[in-house]
Amino acid sequence: MSTHTTTRLAHLAGLMSAVFIAACGGGTDTPATSPAPAPAPAPAPSPSAGSLSCDTTLFVAGAAVSTPTATQLSAYAGTYSGNEGAFGPNPGDPFVASAAAAFVLDAAGSSTYNGTVATLSSACIETTASAGGSTERLVLHFSGAGHFDIDSTAPGSALTGIKPGSSDVVVRATKAAAPAPAPAPAASSPAPAASAPSPAPAPAGAITRYLDFAAAAPSTPRQVAPSGALAWLAGSYHGRSTAGPCSVTIGADGNVSASMNGNNQSAALDGDSGDTWILLPSNSMSFGVNAVSAGQGVILTGYGNRLALVEMAGVLDKCAIAFKSATSLTMALSSTPPLPVKSNGLLASDLPAFLVGSHSGYAVGNIFFPRTTPQACSLQVAADGTVVLSSGSSSYTAQISGGTTSGDTDKSAVDRLSAYAALTGARDWTWRVDAQSPSGANTVEVLIELAHNGERSQVSYASAQVKPTVGGLASQAEVCYFPN
């Protein structure tokens, strides 16, 4: 059981499935009860680390935490280098770096992150019981938001946590070893092999969160996009065109490269008048970013925080984007559907395992029920077939229970519900789940779109409405998109 409070756990919820953060515990040894000789004079207490203190309210009651001594803090001091980025929404999804990360902690307790002062609000040594006796880690919290865990004092020790000033940007880094003198090269020694280049870091002021992008992008007319406009979307994405697999890789520095139907093109957000961005709230928060270079261009279109479509200059086709993945995907179509296809009578036991659980995305509205800004939404699917789509104060609940009557028809189909409905490339890898439940003279309906090809499976879209069971228009509705 972790000794951290739920506030701290909430920050780490997106990484618990992929970052090895050991459970925290600890306590003191039981004192001996047998008589003992008079003790020697107690040594002077170790000095604490400057003005730093440990905020014990950030841990559960009884946690074995204390303010680090000057000696302890000095042992953790050093430079930690790595990356910031994010994990995918599903357990086991890889970490995708979006920018470089450099954290420097000195022996006095001062720190910087990527060259900017990062003020600490709490520093704690957390002691955890283990088979070998006990282990210690340094837990740092920053003023405002963000926290780091450093698992040991040795070179190469891991730093994990949330970027200072952020609530969701993940940081992974390791402690650099002290520099050692380079040995004299042997006359016959071959030149060392070149290492693979690291992803280019995001430029200063880059937009690293979707909500910041939505707030900054112009609604009309299109304007020249800053070079860091795509940092929040950095990574590799895979999908299908009418001819087969296609893909796009987006760099945090604004470089974009796409491949479709045997064509490869690259461009960058470098201030060209054709490098534009836009966001249309009335059209389900659709966004568009164009990156152009001489004779080449890549057009990105998405809804909420989901990338849905890629187009390329001179290529008369569209790439329907399905999954974000750091490793290559074949995007071959699956011969096995994720659930039985039923025109009615769908049961809770028919639902695929990946659908059962919680899914987080953004509510974006639609043309009839528009939003001015996106809002976080969640889809909860229980093993008993209860489906709840929530955003803000609105909540829609329906039950998949084998319904076969009007106003209570539970069904599934090979179908495209979202923006994919207009994309031929999305054919045969999207499925639909329809949950209906009567509510007086109305029906509550929750529609779910599943993206599935055998390599990956996820919820891509959900919508809900309250409508008259017999005729009439919906009185309430919501639309949510979920990340790739």
Nearest Cα neighbor of 85 from 234, 254, 269 is: 234
Provide the pLDDT for residue 220: 84
* Least confident piece of the model among 46-55, 118-127, 273-282, 427-436: 46-55
Question: What is the residue-wise DSSP string for 195-245?
Answer: PPPPPPPPPTT---SHHHHHHHS-SSS-EEPPTTTTGGG-EEEEEE-SSSE
Instruction: Pick the more confident residue, 12 or 450.
Output: 450
Nearest Cα neighbor of 301 from 386, 233, 358, 369 is: 233
* DSSP structural state of residue 284: T
- Let me know: does 479 contact 460? Beta carbons within 8 Å: no
Strand runs labelled E in 143-275: 147-150, 158-162, 170-175, 223-224, 235-240, 245-250, 255-260, 263-268
* Percent share of the chain, pLDDT over 90: 56
Q: What is the pTM of this model?
A: 0.61
Which 3 state secondary structure label does DSSP give 424? helix
Exposed, middle or buried by CB within 10 Å (0-12, 13-18, 19+), for 473? exposed
Nearest Cα neighbor of 462 from 346, 362, 353, 341 is: 362
Q: Which residue has the tokens 């966004």?
A: 287
- Let me know: does 3 contact 59? Beta carbons within 8 Å: yes
**Cis-peptide into 89, omega within 30 deg:** no
For 328, the token pair is 């290559």
| Order of strands across the sheet that contains 263-268 | 223-224, 276-280, 286-293, 296-303, 306-312, 319-324, 235-240, 245-250, 255-260, 263-268
Q: Which residue has the tokens 């302890």?
A: 72
What are the tens digits of pLDDT across the range 222-254? 999 999 999 999 999 999 999 999 999 999 999
Amino acid making up residue 385: G
Q: Which residue has the tokens 């008079």?
A: 38
Instruction: Pick the more confident residue, 53 or 15.
Output: 53
For 377, the token pair is 């939404």
What are the tens digits of pLDDT across the range 310-321? 999 999 999 999
Instruction: Pick the more confident residue, 431 or 198.
Output: 431
Domains by residue range for the chain, with CATH: 6-28+49-175 (no CATH), 210-324 (2.40.128), 348-481 (no CATH)
Helix %, strand %, coil % for the chain, to 5? 10, 45, 50
The C-alpha atoms of residue 384 and residue 396 are separated, in whole angstroms, by 16
What are the tens digits of pLDDT across the range 87-132? 777 766 777 888 888 889 888 888 998 888 899 999 999 888 766 6
Provide the pLDDT for residue 207: 94
Q: Region 286-307: what's the mean pLDDT? A: 95
Exposed, middle or buried by CB within 10 Å (0-12, 13-18, 19+), for 465? buried
What are the tens digits of pLDDT across the range 181-228? 445 444 444 444 444 455 677 788 899 999 999 999 999 889 999 999
The C-alpha atoms of residue 381 and residue 325 are separated, in whole angstroms, by 25
The C-alpha atoms of residue 185 and residue 174 are separated, in whole angstroms, by 28
Q: Name the phi and psi angles at 231, rounded to 5.
A: -60, -35
The C-alpha atoms of residue 240 and residue 330 are separated, in whole angstroms, by 10
Instruction: Pick the more confident residue, 387 or 105.
Output: 387
Q: Region 28-48: what's the mean pLDDT? A: 36
The C-alpha atoms of residue 320 and residue 246 are separated, in whole angstroms, by 8
- Let me know: does 201 contact 115? Beta carbons within 8 Å: no
Q: What is the mean pLDDT of the chain?
A: 84
* Least confident piece of the model among 72-76, 181-185, 253-257, 355-359: 181-185
Q: CB under 8 Å to 146, separation ≥6 — which residues?
A: 118, 161, 162, 163, 164, 165, 166, 167
For 405, the token pair is 């009557």
Provide the pLDDT for residue 178: 57
Neighbours of 259 (CB within 10 A): 18
Highest mean pLDDT range out of 82-96, 121-135, 377-391? 377-391
Q: Has residue 141 got a pLDDT over 90?
A: yes
